[in-house]
C-alpha cells in the first residue's frame, strides 16, 4: 500500500481522486479482517485530506447554479467522503462478526468515530452546494451514534482522533457537531461561513450536553429533536413526540458565553475573503447572532407566507440596482448577466421565495431589485438570505425585503480629491414597521463607522457621518448615518420626499 500511495499522480487531482475512489471500493471486497482494513484506510487518510483541499478550490465560493467544473469537483469530494465513511463502516461490521470477547473495542470505537467524521464532511459539502444530502445520509449518521450509544462507547474518548475533528474526541461530541451544523440554517450561510462554522464547532460542540429521556430531560434542554428519520434534525415539542425514545435533548446554554465572547471580538462588517478555502476566518456579528437564534430554537418565521404564482423581473447587484433607481430609461437588458425573470413562489410582509432557471449566478447576501407592480416600474430592494438547488438548473432564492424603493447615490469620502468615477450606493427610506431608520447601502469592505462621506443624489449633495452598521454581507454594507449639514435631522434629510413602506405591502 505504501508504494501504491507513493505512486499516485497528486498533481493530477482528477486522476488521483478516481484511483482512490476505486481503491476504496475494491479493498472492501477483499477478504481481510477489520484491523487490516483499518490500517489500509489510515494510510489513505493523508491523500483524502489533500484531495479534499484541492477539490474545494474549484467549488468553494462558487455561485448558483454552479459551473460544470465546480459541480463536478463538489460531487467528487462528496463521493470520496461517502466512500471513506463506508469503508470505515465495513471495519466495525467485520469486528461485530467476531466473538464478543475477541472484539477490539478501541478499534470498533475508532472506526465508528472516523465513519461519523467523514459523514459529517460529506454533509458539509452538500450544504455548500445548497442541496439536500444524498438519501440515507441522516439515517446513517443517526445509526452511527445509536450503535456507539448502545455499546456505551458514545462518551469515550478515541485514542487517535482525526486532526480535523479538533476537540470532538468522542462520538457524542462529533454527533453534536453535525447536529449543530444542520440546526445553524446552512441555506442562510455563504460557503465560507459554512466552512468556518463547522471548524468552530470542532471546539464548541463538546460544551453542549446531549441526553435522551423523557420530559424531565427535556426541561433542561434548549431544544429537542427526533433522530429516527432520514432528515436533518428539527426542533419539536417532546411532549407530542410519538416515540419518546427516539427524541434527543440538546442543551446549548454553555455556548452562550462563547458566542458572547466571539461577538465582542467580531467585526461588524464582513472581511474580504483571503487565502485558501481550508483556512478558517473569524465570523461576523450577523452570523453569530443568527447562530444564537438557531441554537436556541428561536429562529422562527414571524410572518405568514401566502402561496403566489407570478412572473417577476429581478436585477442583480448593487451597481445594476443603482442604474435602475438613478432613472435610467434603459436598465440592463435581459441576458446581460444582471437581469433575469423568475417565478414568485410565495410571499409575506418580510420576504418572498423565487424560482428561476439559473441563467444568472447568485450567492447568499446578493442584492436584488425586484418588480413588485404590474407595470414594471416600481421595484423593491431585497437581499438573498438563503439558497437551495431544486435541481441542476433550477435555483430557489429566499428574499428578505429591505425597502420598497431607493434613491441612487454617488459616494465619495469627505475631503478626498475628486478623481475618477464615484462609488455607487443606495439610500433606503426608513422602515418603521421594522424599527429601522433611513440607511445607506454601500459596496462591501470599503467603509467603517465613523467615516465621513459626501452623498450626491438628484436632490443635491450632503455630507454625512456613518454611525452604525445595520447589516452587512459580501455584496454590501448597510449603515445608519448622521447628517453633517443638518444636525437637527440626523439620518434622513435626503429621504424626506421618499414614500414610506406602505407601497411595498400594498404591492405585495
pLDDT digits (tens, 9 = 90+) for 415-437: 888 777 789 999 999 877 666 78
Q: Is the pLDDT of residue 313 over 80?
A: yes
Burial class (CB in 10 A: 0-12, 13-18, 19+), 120: buried
Which pLDDT score is estimated for 205?
95
pLDDT digits (tens, 9 = 90+) for 43-68: 999 999 999 999 998 888 777 777 77
Grid coordinates standing for 473?
454581507
Cell of 125: 459539502
**pLDDT over threshold 80, residue 347:** no
Cell digits of residue 148: 456507539
- Mean of per-residue pLDDT scores for the chain: 83
For 54, half-sphere exposure in the C-beta direction (CA atoms, 13 angstrom radius) is 16
Does 504 score more than 50 pLDDT? Answer: no
Distance CA 417, CA 226 (A): 61
Percentage helix, strand, coil, to 5, in the chain?
A: 40, 25, 35
Q: For residue 215, name the pLDDT band (cuts at 50, 70, 90).
A: low
Please, what is the Cα angle at 14 between 8 and 15, to 5 degrees?
40
Q: Return the C-alpha cell found at 322.
A: 443603482
pLDDT of 101 reads 67
DSSP code for 422: P
Give the residue with greater pLDDT, 357 vs 137: 137
CATH of 407-507, one of 3.40.50, 2.40.10, 2.60.120, 3.30.1380: 2.40.10
Confidence of residue 273 (pLDDT cuts 50, 70, 90): low
Q: Give the torsion through C-alpha atoms of 17, 20, 25, 29, to 10 deg.
A: 170
The residue that leads in pLDDT, 337 or 180, is: 180
- Nearest Cα residue to 286 out of 365, 368, 177: 365
CA 60/CA 395 separation, integer angstroms: 18
211 grid coordinates = 441526553
Calculate mean pLDDT across residues 241-262.
86
Q: Where in the chain is the domain with CATH 2.40.10.220?
A: 306-403
Asked if residue 414 has a cis previous peptide bond (ω within 30° of 0), the answer is no
Question: Of all helices (H) and strands (E), which one includes residue 506?
Answer: helix 502-507
Q: Which fold would CATH assign to domain 306-403?
A: Thrombin, subunit H (2.40.10)
C-alpha cell, 121 = 464532511
Q: How many CB atoms lie within 10 A of CB 5?
A: 15
Across 350-389, where does the E strand assignment appear? 351-356, 367-371, 379-389
Structure confidence at residue 194 (pLDDT): 94
Beta strand residue intervals within 414-496, DSSP E: 423-428, 439-443, 452-457, 460-472, 476-483
* 260-272 pLDDT per residue, tens: 999 888 766 556 5
Position 404 confidence tier, pLDDT thresholds 50, 70, 90: confident
Distance from chain centroid for Cα 78: 17
420 secondary structure, DSSP code: S
pLDDT at residue 175, as a whole number: 96
Residue 492 has pLDDT above 50, yes or no: no
Please, what's the b/e burial string for 141-167 (b: 16 or more CB within 10 A of its CB; e: otherwise)?
Answer: bbbbbbbbbebebbebebeebbebbbe
Cell numbers placing 10: 497528486
**CA–CA separation, 461 vs 39, rounded Å?**
71
Going along 282-376, which residue ranges are E strands?
306-316, 339-347, 351-356, 367-371
**In Å, how far from its chain's centre is CA 458?**
38
b vs e for 295-321, b when ≥16 Cβ sit within 10 Å of the residue's Cβ? bbbebeeeeeeeeeeeebebbbbbebb
How does DSSP classify residue 362?
A: B
- Complete DSSP assignment for 148-180: HHHTT-TTSPPSS--GGGTT--SHHHHHHHHHH
Q: Between vectors from CA 346 to CA 340 and to CA 350, what angle results, nearest 5°?
A: 95
What was the pLDDT predicted at 71? 85
Say what the pLDDT of residue 394 is.
85
pLDDT at residue 501 in the model: 32
Q: pLDDT tens digits, residue range 91-125?
A: 999 888 877 766 788 999 999 999 999 999 999 99
In this prediction, residue 376 carries a pLDDT of 47
Classified as helix, coil or strand, 120 is: helix
Kindly tell me the number of DSSP H helices and DSSP E strands found in the chain. Answer: 13, 16
Q: Tell me: pLDDT of 410 over 90.
A: yes
Across 321-339, average pLDDT: 67
- Which DSSP string corresponds to 248-287? EEEE-TTHHHHHHHHHHHS-SSPPPP-S-TTS--PPPHHH
Scanning the structure block, which residue is given the C-alpha cell 433542561?
220
Burial (0-12, 13-18, 19+ Cβ within 10 Å), 421: exposed
3-class DSSP state of 341: strand
Cell reading at 313? 423581473
Amino acid at each position: 500500500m505504501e508504494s501504491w500511495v507513493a505512486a499516485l499522480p497528486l498533481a493530477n487531482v482528477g486522476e488521483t481522486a478516481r484511483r482512490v475512489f476505486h481503491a476504496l471500493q475494491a479493498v472492501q471486497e477483499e477478504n481481510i479482517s477489520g484491523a487490516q482494513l483499518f490500517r489500509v484506510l489510515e494510510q489513505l487518510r493523508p491523500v483524502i485530506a489533500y484531495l479534499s483541499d484541492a477539490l474545494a478550490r474549484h467549488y468553494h465560493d462558487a455561485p448558483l447554479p454552479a459551473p460544470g467544473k465546480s459541480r463536478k469537483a463538489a460531487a467528487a469530494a462528496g463521493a470520496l467522503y461517502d466512500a471513506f465513511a463506508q469503508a470505515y463502516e465495513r471495519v466495525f461490521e467485520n469486528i461485530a462478526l467476531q466473538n464478543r470477547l475477541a472484539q477490539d473495542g478501541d478499534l470498533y470505537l475508532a472506526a465508528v468515530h472516523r465513519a461519523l467524521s467523514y459523514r459529517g464532511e460529506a454533509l458539509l459539502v452538500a450544504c455548500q452546494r445548497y442541496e439536500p444530502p444524498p438519501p440515507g445520509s441522516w439515517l446513517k449518521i443517526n445509526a452511527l451514534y445509536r450503535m456507539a450509544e448502545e455499546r456505551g462507547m458514545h462518551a469515550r474518548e478515541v485514542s487517535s482522533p482525526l486532526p480535523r475533528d479538533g476537540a470532538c474526541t468522542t462520538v457524542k461530541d462529533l454527533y453534536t457537531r453535525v447536529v449543530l451544523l444542520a440546526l445553524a440554517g446552512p441555506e442562510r450561510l455563504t460557503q465560507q461561513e459554512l466552512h468556518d462554522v463547522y471548524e468552530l464547532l470542532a471546539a464548541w460542540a463538546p460544551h453542549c450536553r446531549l441526553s435522551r429521556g423523557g420530559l424531565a430531560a427535556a426541561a433542561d434542554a434548549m431544544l429537542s429533536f427526533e433522530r429516527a428519520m432520514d432528515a436533518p434534525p428539527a426542533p419539536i415539542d417532546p411532549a407530542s413526540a410519538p416515540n419518546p425514545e427516539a427524541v434527543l435533548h440538546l442543551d446549548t446554554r454553555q455556548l452562550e458565553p462563547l458566542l458572547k465572547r466571539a461577538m465582542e471580538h467580531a467585526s461588524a462588517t464582513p472581511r474580504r475573503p483571503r487565502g485558501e478555502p481550508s483556512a478558517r476566518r473569524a465570523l461576523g456579528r450577523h452570523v453569530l447572532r443568527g447562530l444564537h437564534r438557531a441554537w436556541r430554537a428561536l429562529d422562527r418565521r414571524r410572518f405568514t407566507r401566502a402561496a403566489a404564482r407570478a412572473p417577476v423581473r429581478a436585477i442583480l447587484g448593487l451597481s445594476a440596482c443603482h442604474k435602475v433607481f438613478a432613472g435610467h430609461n434603459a436598465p440592463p437588458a435581459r441576458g446581460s448577466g444582471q437581469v433575469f425573470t423568475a417565478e414568485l413562489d410565495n410571499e409575506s410582509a418580510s420576504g418572498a421565495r423565487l424560482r428561476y432557471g439559473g441563467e444568472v449566478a447568485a450567492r447568499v447576501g446578493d442584492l436584488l431589485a425586484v418588480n413588485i407592480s404590474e407595470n414594471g416600474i416600481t421595484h423593491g430592494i431585497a437581499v438573498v438570505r438563503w439558497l437551495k438547488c431544486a435541481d441542476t438548473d433550477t435555483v430557489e432564492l429566499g428574499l428578505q425585503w429591505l425597502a420598497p424603493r431607493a434613491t441612487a447615490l454617488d459616494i465619495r469620502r469627505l475631503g478626498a480629491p475628486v478623481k475618477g468615477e464615484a462609488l455607487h450606493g443606495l439610500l433606503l427610506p426608513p422602515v418603521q414597521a421594522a424599527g429601522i431608520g433611513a440607511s445607506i447601502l454601500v459596496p462591501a469592505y470599503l467603509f467603517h463607522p465613523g467615516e465621513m462621506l459626501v452623498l450626491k443624489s438628484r436632490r443635491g449633495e450632503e455630507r454625512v457621518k456613518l454611525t452604525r452598521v445595520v447589516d452587512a454581507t459580501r455584496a454590501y454594507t448597510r449603515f445608519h448615518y448622521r447628517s453633517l449639514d443638518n444636525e437637527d435631522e440626523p439620518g434622513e434629510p435626503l429621504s424626506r420626499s421618499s414614500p414610506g413602506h406602505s407601497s411595498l405591502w400594498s404591492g405585495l
